[in-house]
């Protein structure tokens, strides 16, 4: 398909965890020559900084201490051609590898529910997408960050299928995990994301749903091409 590269839009991609949102977002961004912004990585980076600077200690999340650290945290993205995506840096340090650990995963829900954290990161995300031409993936992009996004996609998949995908991924990495443990984690993260007080995960009214439970990557791209074409025709 021929893309109209002059007409830059914002593509908001929200949905459940382990749906393949980042893979999908990265593929779309590469196709369109857009910037891909992984907002989950930003919440993970604040969590990592809190862990490294004593604001999360012995399993206790000190909200005031995290709020006190916010002014010291500068987050930037730099494109990494080897990955075909941007790496995330905190105060100039590359943290891409450090933010995906189980320790960060365990605390990121608590950190992302702090209002001041969301305020800071949402403002940054709005600035990053101000010139349009971005694919932003997260939980509140179509509802809070860019309610005026031209294309809003809400991604979902059967929890069992998502758990199977994560199980295969972790097994391939050599992790000794059980399928039931992963399924439980997928279900509990869905619950936490949908039920938090501030900016819970929900489908924007004007979002279109992509259920990729039984779709290949090629089928998802074909689906995207169609939807993207419709949006451009209506601009």
Q: Which residues in this chain contact ligand DC in the complex, by CB under 6 A? A: 17, 39-40, 43-44, 108-109, 112, 138-140, 193
Rounded CA separation 43/200 (Å):
14
> Please, what is the minimum distance in Å from the beta carbon of residue 39 to ligand DC?
4
The residue (of 40 and 147) whose beta carbon lies closer to ligand DC is: 40
The residue (of 108 and 204) whose beta carbon lies closer to ligand DC is: 108
> Please, what is the minimum distance in Å from the beta carbon of residue 93 to ligand DC?
19
The residue (of 1 and 94) whose beta carbon lies closer to ligand DC is: 94
> Please, what is the minimum distance in Å from the beta carbon of residue 59 to ligand DC?
17
Q: What is the dihedral of CA 30, 34, 40, 41, to 10 degrees?
A: 80
Backbone φ/ψ region at 172: left (φ over 0), alpha (ψ -120 to 50), beta:
alpha
> Please, what is the minimum distance in Å from the beta carbon of residue 198 to ligand DC?
9
The full DSSP string for 7-33 is: S--EEEEEE-TTSSHHHHHHHHHHHHT
Q: Is 152 helix (H, G, I), strand (E, B) or coil?
A: strand
The residue (of 118 and 220) whose beta carbon lies closer to ligand DC is: 118
> Please, what is the minimum distance in Å from the beta carbon of residue 205 to ligand DC?
18
CB burial of residue 182 (10 Å; 0-12, 13-18, 19+): buried
The residue (of 4 and 116) whose beta carbon lies closer to ligand DC is: 116
The full DSSP string for 67-135 is: HHHGGG--EEEEEETTTTEEEEEETTEE-TTTTTSHHHHHHHHHHHT-HHHHHHHHHHHHHHTTTS-EE
> Please, what is the minimum distance in Å from the beta carbon of residue 138 to ligand DC?
3
Beta bridge partners of 136: 12, 37
The residue (of 124 and 232) whose beta carbon lies closer to ligand DC is: 124
């Amino acid at each position: 398909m021929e893309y109209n590269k002059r007409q830059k839009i914002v593509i908001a991609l929200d949905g459940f965890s382990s749906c393949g949102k980042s893979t999908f977002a990265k593929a779309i961004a590469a196709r369109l020559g857009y910037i891909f912004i992984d907002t989950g990585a930003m919440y993970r980076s604040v969590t990592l900084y809190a862990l490294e600077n004593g604001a999360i200690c012995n399993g206790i999340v000190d909200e005031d201490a995290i709020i006190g650290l916010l002014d010291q945290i500068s987050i930037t993205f730099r494109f990494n051609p080897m990955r075909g995506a941007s790496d995330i840096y905190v105060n100039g340090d590359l943290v891409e590898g450090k933010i995906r650990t189980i320790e960060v995963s365990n605390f990121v829900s608590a950190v992302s529910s702090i209002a001041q954290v969301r305020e800071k990161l949402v403002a940054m995300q709005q600035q990053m997408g101000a010139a349009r031409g971005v694919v932003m993936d997260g939980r509140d992009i179509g509802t809070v960050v860019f309610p005026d996004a031209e294309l809003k996609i809400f991604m979902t998949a059967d929890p069992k299928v998502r758990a199977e995908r994560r199980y295969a991924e972790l097994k391939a990495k050599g992790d000794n995990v059980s399928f039931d443990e992963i399924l439980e984690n997928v279900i509990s993260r869905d619950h936490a994301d949908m039920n938090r007080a501030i900016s819970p995960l929900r489908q924007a009214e004007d979002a279109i749903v992509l259920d990729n439970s039984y779709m290949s990557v090629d089928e998802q791209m074909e689906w995207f091409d169609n939807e993207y074409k419709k949006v451009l025709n209506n601009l």
